[in-house]
Amino acid sequence: MKFKTTHYHFDLLKDTDRLSAFFEAIEDYGGNTDLAYDLGCGSGILSYFLNSHFDNTISLEIDRQAYECACENLNSFENIEVINSDVLDYEFTKKADLIVCEMLDTALIDEEEVPVLNYAKKFLKDDGIIIPQAIINTVELVNLERHYIHWDEGVNYESYSKPIVYSEFNFLNDINPKFEADLSLKSDKSGIINGLKITSYTKLNENLIVGPLPMLNPPLLIPLDEKTVNVNDLINIKLKYIMGNGIGSIKTKYY
């Protein structure tokens, strides 16, 4: 099937690893099949995957151009309803068996996955499932070439520590979007550090975890004040941000 897309969603469709991971997670779903919600459906590709499994799918998309693409792509499926609405403004009337929400980004900082799911999961059945299931975040010390917040997309940097898991969130739980952590990272070489690298891994279900992909959570590089370190130095850093409020909410400092 040929999909009509926006330029952004065309790039999403080109990331075949991302696409196949969500396809596999939906194919693995073994719960009830009355109703699914596809939140932030974009061009409608995940709703297309859901079509053969669910009696009904409600697909929400806030962007008007993407919504029009989804309507055109899915108009032949009588069991899919596409709605142009912000999820947080939509009045859900029925509880779903499955929620699919692919508003993902690194550490959930820039996209609205957390506020959307905190709201929408009230309309999930007690035995309902969310895809993705969870996110796992790691952090490491780095020396950056660019001294501003940016994504790891062909840029140069040098790692100065092993990555450690600093947070993990299950989307079935209520999540406080105001995140704060005290990090202790051990330098494994001598030199100068001036940043952090955050890498997110998406747990789609119990058997499927995908690492960063071109259009799914590329690592985020965050500058710090420059600091000279030696091998085995323990570096303590306070990291704060608000999930869903964008990279401008990120704050770091040594302590």
- Quick one: what percent of the chain has pLDDT higher than 90? 88
Rounded to whole angstroms, the Cα distance separating 192 from 245 reads 30
Q: In whole numbers, what is the pLDDT of the chain averaged over residues?
A: 95
Tell me which residue of 146, 149, 73, 79 sits closest to 109, measured CA to CA. Answer: 149
CATH architecture of 7-102: 3-Layer(aba) Sandwich (3.40)
**Domain boundaries for CATH 3.40.50.150 within the chain:** 7-102
Tokens of 191: 């030199």
**Domain boundaries for CATH 2.70.160.11 within the chain:** 134-254
More confident residue, 180 or 13: 180
The amino acid occupying position 75 is N
Residue 208 has pLDDT above 90, yes or no: yes
Tokens of 251: 């704050």
Tokens of 224: 């710090």
Residue 13 has pLDDT above 80, yes or no: no
> So what's the pLDDT on residue 216?
81
Question: What homologous superfamily is domain 134-254 in, according to CATH?
Answer: Hnrnp arginine n-methyltransferase1 (2.70.160.11)
> So what's the pLDDT on residue 120?
97
Average pLDDT over residues 182-193: 98
According to the 3-state scheme, what is the secondary structure of 59-108? EEECCHHHHHHHHHHHCCCCCEEEEECCHHHCCCCCCEEEEEECCCCHHH
What confidence tens digit (pLDDT) does each residue in 122-176 have?
Answer: 999 999 999 999 999 999 999 999 999 999 988 999 999 999 999 999 999 999 9
Total-model pTM: 0.94
Residue 124: phi and psi, rounded to 5, are -110, 135
